[in-house]
Amino acid sequence: MEIEKLVRPNILRLVPYSSARSEFKGHAGVFLDANENPFDNGLNRYPDPLQQKLKTEISMLKNIPTSRIFLGNGSDEAIDLLVRIFCIPTQDHIIILPPTYGMYQVAADIADVEIRQIPLTSDFQPDVEAILNAAGPQSKILFLCSPNNPTGNAFHPQILRQLAKAFPGIVVVDEAYIDFSEDPGALPLLPEFPNLVVLQTFSKAWGLAAIRLGMAFAGEPIIHLLNKVKAPYNLNLLSQEKALQAIRDPGHKQQMVQVLLEERKRLANALSAFPFVRQIFPSDANFLLVRVDAPGKLYDFLTRHGIIVRNRSSVLLCEGCLRISIGTPDENAVLLQALNIFTSAGQP
Ligand SMILES: *Cc1c(COP(=O)(O)O)cnc(C)c1O
């Protein structure tokens, strides 16, 4: 597949902003090119626009060359850039598979790009036939979220492969929750499919939602386009340094993930004992989708007790469901205690 044929013509023609620092290759000690304040406080210089140091570490962590990595201000930046790179407003469309993450729709709405919705099957897997039937030359991006938010399940690897192979546009696999899954994910498919983009993030398993750091892995042509369109200094230095620190201590992340996986099992077990719990869906993520009697009533009760969960009960295929993030052991205990009170109060 030729990626260039999918790109908006104005983006192909675009001459990106070029900073003097990125044009200069070599060694210099005196920088009088960028109108920065010269007095050193550790933050007075513009950061590396291509974040080479951080990419080198991520490259070793993921075993993917730096030329196949894009870093953004959260995965949300990559989602937004992909829509703007490939979709001509009011002409092209994206395909999403509800129920899913809300940002794909928001990014398309902002860009004035149409959205085609192909619901997941009743077991929360992509409906391959319906997707391929709906796809045409104007279908520029297919967004797959695996493990999926809010259903929690990962998509079957052979379905990801099938779609990457047969979809006529870009296939984005959003793996925000992949660290909580035993699934190998889509990274191993990258060398085979030039139209594939895999998104991961520091916002969930790494515990760094506040630094806003998302990763996109793809073939070099797509990475080149993302770099061309992004804001020149899209990642601030403090975030880059914080991420480097975290990557150099991978045991800490592993330990947090371990605890969350144990808590996921413990919480699912405990929840299943409540009379108002109808169904707990299997989760490859750090949350549980739980079908209950009277979800609105339970949601309000929890809110009154200072516990905020996500009410997904009006979302397609999630009727009656609340989405509950896995907290610390203490937080989960507080939740279970509140649910005991809810039960003994004779609710609903
Ligand atoms: C939380 C989440 C993200 C994270 O987005 P960031 O911008 O990296 O914080 C991405 N995709 C999905 C599906 C999510 O649930």
- Total tally of structural domains belonging to the chain: 2
Whether residue 101 is found in the same domain as residue 71: yes
SS3 content of the chain, % helix, strand, coil (to 5): 40, 15, 45
Give yes or no for residue 51 CB within 6 A of ligand 1: no
Separation between Cα atoms, residue 58 and residue 189, nearest integer Å: 18
Whether residue 263 is found in the same domain as residue 228: no
Give yes or no for residue 75 CB within 6 A of ligand 1: yes
Whether residue 33 is found in the same domain as residue 105: yes
> What is the pLDDT confidence band of residue 28, given thresholds at 50, 70 and 90?
confident
Residue 16 has pLDDT above 70, yes or no: yes
Whether residue 54 is found in the same domain as residue 126: yes
What average pLDDT is seen over the chain? 96
Angle at 309 between CA 303 and CA 310, to 5 degrees: 120
Angle at 130 between CA 129 and CA 132, to 5 degrees: 65
Q: Residue 334 C-alpha to ligand 1 middle, in angstroms?
A: 26
Q: Residue 231 C-alpha to ligand 1 middle, in angstroms?
A: 20
CATH assignment at residue 145: 3.40.640.10
Separation between Cα atoms, residue 307 and residue 301, nearest integer Å: 9
Give yes or no for residue 203 CB within 6 A of ligand 1: yes
Whole-number pLDDT of residue 24: 65
Residue 244 has pLDDT above 60, yes or no: yes
Bigger pLDDT: 26 vs 236? 236
Give yes or no for residue 77 CB within 6 A of ligand 1: no
Give yes or no for residue 214 CB within 6 A of ligand 1: yes
Bigger pLDDT: 181 vs 348? 181
Whether residue 307 is found in the same domain as residue 233: no
Choose the final residue of a domain: 248, 282, 311: 248
Tokens coding 101: 């993450």
Residue 116 has pLDDT above 80, yes or no: yes
Whether residue 178 is found in the same domain as residue 36: yes
Domain range for 244 is 3-248
Whether residue 184 is found in the same domain as residue 45: yes
Angle between helix axes 75-86 and 103-110 (nearest 10 degrees) is 40
Whether residue 234 is found in the same domain as residue 255: no
Choose the final residue of a domain: 248, 271, 301: 248
Residue 348 has pLDDT above 60, yes or no: no
Bigger pLDDT: 124 vs 345? 124
Separation between Cα atoms, residue 156 and residue 173, nearest integer Å: 12
Whether residue 201 is found in the same domain as residue 311: no
Choose the final residue of a domain: 248, 265, 300: 248
Residue 77 has pLDDT above 70, yes or no: yes
Whether residue 20 is found in the same domain as residue 65: yes
Whether residue 162 is found in the same domain as residue 198: yes
Q: What is the mean pLDDT of the segment spanning 231-260?
A: 97
Q: Residue 77 C-alpha to ligand 1 middle, in angstroms?
A: 10
CATH assignment at residue 283: 3.90.1150.10
The H or E element containing residue 142 is strand 139-145
Whether residue 191 is found in the same domain as residue 300: no
pLDDT digits (tens, 9 = 90+) for 126-169: 999 999 999 999 999 999 999 999 999 999 999 999 999 999 99
Whole-number pLDDT of residue 29: 82
